[in-house]
A and B are shown apart, each in its own frame.
Chain A
Amino acid sequence: MRALEPWVEAPLQSFLAESSARLTLLMTTSGQVVAQHGFGRSLDVMTAAALGAGIVASTEELARLMGTSRFGALVHHGTGQSCLLSAFGTPRGRWIGLVVFGRETSVGIVQLFFDQMVQQLADAAPREQPAVPALAENFEHELDASLRALFGR
């Protein structure tokens, strides 16, 4: 498990221990990865983050068109593996969780401990957010630094 910010580690570690999730990805709604567990290659993380953020954006737009509130979570039930995708609010903005889990656990367990993690993240988030300029000239450097932090290389 690797996280860009230390305060994310304890809630995520607790979720991983309780849920038995195989893969977990926390990201912003724009697809910027915050933490990951189980991914072996940076390319897989970036692809999953982009697809996850796109799916959440699509479902939120669908909800808007249908005149309903946002969907709480999207669960894809597979035969060997299933996937939970859920957006949630944090003091650092709206984030998305992507969780892949197998038959060794259940969607009920994953949802239960995912909701606990969301609460723990809200409690653990530092209230003072450091100002980080999102300048175009810094983008590639920031991306490289994030990937090094997430994969340790």
Chain B
Amino acid sequence: MSPAQATLDRITRIPGVRGALIASTGDGLVVAEQLMDGIDGRAAAALTGSLVARLARTADGAGVRSPVFIHLRGEQGSILAAPGPDELVLVAVVGPEANLGLARLEMLDAAGRLG
């Protein structure tokens, strides 16, 4: 198993996580993915990569540090994103019942070792 797949395996074992992927924020493409059926990894990578890149530019423009963790909450779940080195971002799609605290801790740890 590749390091990227091992990372995704670790994230998707967290209760409530429906899938995870590693995307490149520079080009918005999928690097590795482990998603449940019905989740469009290509769209998630493109849109989350774009969001993370724009947030980083916004933070830079405001003179503050780039976000280390992003939680986008919806009615039926959330998108979690943890930017890592080398313009990579670890993304998780989680349901409303997910353990967000555990997911955040695991993702921050895993994102630091991407690349």
| Chain A residues closer than 8 Å to B24, beta-carbon distance | 108
The A-B contact count (CB < 8 A) is: 36
Q: How far is the CA of A105 from the CA of B47 in the complex (A)?
A: 10
Which B residues are within 8 Å of any A CB, using their own CB? 23-29, 42-43, 45-47, 49-50, 53
Give the secondary structure class of A's interface. helix
Contact B43 A107, beta carbon cutoff 8 Å: no
Find the residue from B25, B27, B45, B49 having the highest chain A CB count within 10 A: B27
18 contacts between A and B (CB under 8 A): A105-B50, A106-B25, A106-B28, A106-B29, A106-B50, A107-B29, A108-B28, A108-B29, A108-B45, A108-B46, A108-B50, A109-B46, A109-B47, A109-B49, A109-B50, A111-B46, A112-B42, A112-B43
| Chain B residues closer than 8 Å to A106, beta-carbon distance | 25-29, 46, 49-50, 53
| Chain A residues closer than 8 Å to B53, beta-carbon distance | 106
| Chain B residues closer than 8 Å to A105, beta-carbon distance | 50
